[in-house]
Structure 1
Amino acid sequence: MTVSHHPLLDEFPQLREQLHERKLADRHVARLAEDYENLDKRIVRVENGIEALPDAALEDLKKQRLQLKDQLYALLTAPTGA
């Protein structure tokens, strides 16, 4: 079974425009989004058997991905000027 990638645009389809605008205007958001995408791609490689990693390390990566996703969601949904 092949595991699929979880791009941010699929995770937050309702925030597509905000994500694009914030990535262009805010280096911090752009870096978090890039970190998320890179981490997600690595998780997919591990889950698909392309890269070896112990289960505990994989779980840590998944927790990091979730933290990044939560941070990005909070930034994208915060009131303007917050």
Structure 2
Amino acid sequence: MHIEYYSQPSEFDRQRSDSLKLRKANPRFARLADQFDDVDKRILRVESGVEKLDDTQLSALKMQRVGLQKDLSSQLRKAAGECCNCGKACSA
């Protein structure tokens, strides 16, 4: 079976590139991104059995990760000149 690969950058690639640029330019974004990475890694350790947490603690970590992800997405949208999803049609 032949598989074609496309050289067009995907939306994920664009976001990753924008994220790397914003990490260098914005200390607050960099700090939030580092926190997200730390929380995400800890969740993976718990889910793989390397670290033990009860269900309540794991749920709290997952909620923290979602909150960080929303903050990061909002900042990425603002940096791209889009509304941060606040509902007020803001722009950067």
Q: Which bin holds the TM-score, normalised by the shorter protein?
A: 0.7 to 0.9
Partner secondary structure for residue 63 of structure 1: helix
AA paired with 1:46? Answer: V
Runs (4+) of structure 1 moved beyond 3 Å? none
Alignment match, 1:4: none
Alpha-carbon displacement from aligned partner over 1:48-72 (angstroms, at most 9, x marks no partner): 1110001010000000000000000
Q: Which structure 2 residues correspond to residues 46-65 of structure 1 after superposition, within 5 A?
A: 46-65=46-65
Give identity over the alignment, percent: 37
Q: Tell me the distance in 2 between the aligned counterparts of 1:39 and 1:72.
A: 14
Alpha-carbon displacement from aligned partner over 1:20-73 (angstroms, at most 9, x marks no partner): 110000000000000000000000000111100010100000000000000000
Instruction: Name whichever structure is richer in helix by fraction.
Output: 1
Kindly indicate whether structure 1 or structure 2 has the higher relative contact order, using CA contacts under 8 Å at least 6 residues apart.
Answer: 1
Alignment match, 1:66: 66
Alignment match, 1:34: 34
How many equivalent pairs are there?
71
Alignment match, 2:19: 19
Q: Tell me the distance in 2 between the aligned counterparts of 1:46 and 1:20.
A: 27
AA paired with 1:63? Answer: M
Q: TM-score, normalised by structure 1?
A: 0.80
